[in-house]
Amino acid sequence: MKSSGLVKERLGNKLVISMYKESACSHCNNCSDSAKIANTFTFITDRDDVNIGDIITFEMEDNQVFKAAMIVYIFPLIFMFLGYFLGSKLGFSEGKNIGMSFMSLVVAFIGIFFYDKKIVKHKIEKSVKIIDIERK
């Protein structure tokens, strides 16, 4: 997956990038820069020719993007169904089964939150490759 962004900060070999929104109008000059920014992303690079204010195009491995999408979209659904069926096996009423499925969904999102903060950030930082640098 290719994306682009503005280099906001350089901390040794780490770059802090403000990513541009991926849309047809994200690179025109009619909007302010703040309207084009989606979120901030930090990654490790071995390139020394990137400076603050440069616009870079970078690429993440497709399997990393696919894996992240599967975890975020499929994992909570599986937990939700498992919560419902667990409640059913325990003999709960229909309302309690639904409540159990939503509690399982909350547990899945909490698990994804901690997985993202502790594990994914470090793996993704290492799988990003800079393709192009545009000087401002």
Q: Tens of pLDDT along 73-98?
A: 899 999 999 999 999 999 999 999 99
Q: Which domain holds residue 10?
A: 2-134
Neighbours of 42 (CB within 10 A): 15
Quote the number of domains for the chain: 1
pLDDT band at 26 (very low <50, low <70, confident <90, very high): very low
Q: How confident is the model at residue 21 (pLDDT cuts 50, 70, 90)?
A: low
Task: Give percent of the chain with pLDDT exceeding 90.
Answer: 28
- In the chain, the amino acid numbered 77 is L
What is the reported pTM?
0.54
Helices (H), the chain: 33-36, 62-73, 75-89, 94-115, 121-126
